[in-house]
Amino acid sequence: MTEAGLDTPDATATARSAARARLADREGFLAWLFLLPTVVYIIALVAVPFCLAIAFAFSDVTGGDPSYDWAGLTNFRRVFDDEVFWQSLRNTFVFTVVSMVCIVVLGKVLANILIADFRGKWIVRFLVLLPWTTPVALSSITWLWLLHSIYSPIDWVLRTVGLIDGHMYWLGRPNLAMVSIIAVHVWRLVPLAAVIMMVGLLSIPRDIEEAARIDGAGYWRRMFEVTIPLTFPLIAVAALFGAIFTFTDMAVVQVLTGGKPENSTHVLASWSYTRGIGGGDIGQGAVIALFLFPLLLAAAVLILRAVRRMETL
C-alpha cells in the first residue's frame, strides 16, 4: 500500500499533464483562446459605444441634463433640418473619395520607389514612415504653422519664386481650407498604403516579370497587365484602410480649422463632436455619428467584394 500511495500523486500529475497537452492540441480551443482578447476589445470599445449611441439618439440627454428620457425621432428631424449636417455629409464624401484616390495612386508610386535597389534605401524607408508614426495631433500642429495665414513658410517660398504677390490664407478660405485638409490627410496615410503595396510588389515572383520582359512587354504594359492584377487584393486593403481612417478622422479637421471658416470644412466626425461634446447636445451628436456606420459598412462590403472577385478570376 505504501508503494501504491507513493505512485498515486505521480500518476495524478501525469494524467493532468496529459490532459493539458491534449487541451493544447485542440485547434478549436486554441482558436477561441487567441480570439478572446480581440472579442473583448471589440465588445468593450466598439459594441458598447455603438449601442449607447443608438440609445442616446432616441433620447433628450444633454451635457447639462444626463437623465434619460425617450424623445423618439426628434433628434433625427432636428439633424435633417440642419444645413451644416448636409454640408458635413458632402464634405465627408468629397474628403473620402479624393483622399482615397490620391492615397492609392501616390502609395503605388511610392511603393515602386521603395522597392528599387539603391544605396540608403533603409534610411529612405524609415523617413517615409515618419508621417504615419508621428502622432496625428503633433503633425497637424506642424502643418498649422506651415499653413499660417501670415507667417506661412509655404507662402514665403511662393512669393520668393514670384508665383503669388500676397498671402494665400490656406485655412481662411473654404475651398483652400478643404484642399489643405485633404493634402495633410493624404500626406499622413500615403506611407501606410505604400508599405502595404510594397509587400505585394515584393511577393510577385520574378519569373513572371522576366517572362513579360521576354515577351516584349514594356513598363506600362507590365504595370497594368501583371503588377496591378497580382497586387490588387493588397491595393484594395490599402483603400479599405484609407476609407476607414478617412471616414472616422476628425483630428486633422479639428486641429487645422475646427470646421471653420463658417462651418464649411466640417466632416461628419468633427460635426458630431462639435454638436455632441462641444455643444452639449448628446442626442444630436449620437445621431450624426450613427451616419458613419452605414457609410463605412458600404465601403467595406464593396472593397471586399472586389477582392473576392479578383481572387476567383
What is the mean pLDDT for each group of 10 consecutive residues in the chain (313 residues)? Answer: 51 60 66 84 86 90 84 89 91 89 88 82 81 85 90 89 86 90 91 85 80 78 80 78 79 89 89 89 90 80 70 58
- 240 shares a domain with 112: yes
- 181 shares a domain with 45: no
- 140 shares a domain with 97: yes
In a domain, 274, yes or no: yes
Q: Any idea how long the chain is?
A: 313
Angle at alpha carbon of residue 40, lines to 36 and 44, rounded to 5°: 175
Domain count, the chain: 2
- 226 shares a domain with 105: yes
Per-residue cell: 234: 493588397
In a domain, 250, yes or no: yes
Q: Whole domain around residue 32: which residue ranges? A: 1-57
- 308 shares a domain with 213: yes
- 86 shares a domain with 53: no
Cα separation of 274 and 289, whole Å? 11
Cα separation of 290 and 137, whole Å? 24
pLDDT for 210 equals 79
- 141 shares a domain with 44: no
In a domain, 66, yes or no: no
- 110 shares a domain with 232: yes
Of 14, 40, 57, the position where a domain reaches its end is 57
In a domain, 299, yes or no: yes
pLDDT for 123 equals 84
pTM above 0.75, yes or no: yes
- 123 shares a domain with 161: yes
- 174 shares a domain with 133: yes
pLDDT for 83 equals 92
Cα separation of 288 and 281, whole Å? 11
pLDDT for 25 equals 65
- 239 shares a domain with 157: yes
Burial category of 303 from C-beta neighbours within 10 Å (exposed 0-12, middle 13-18, buried 19 and up): buried
In a domain, 259, yes or no: yes
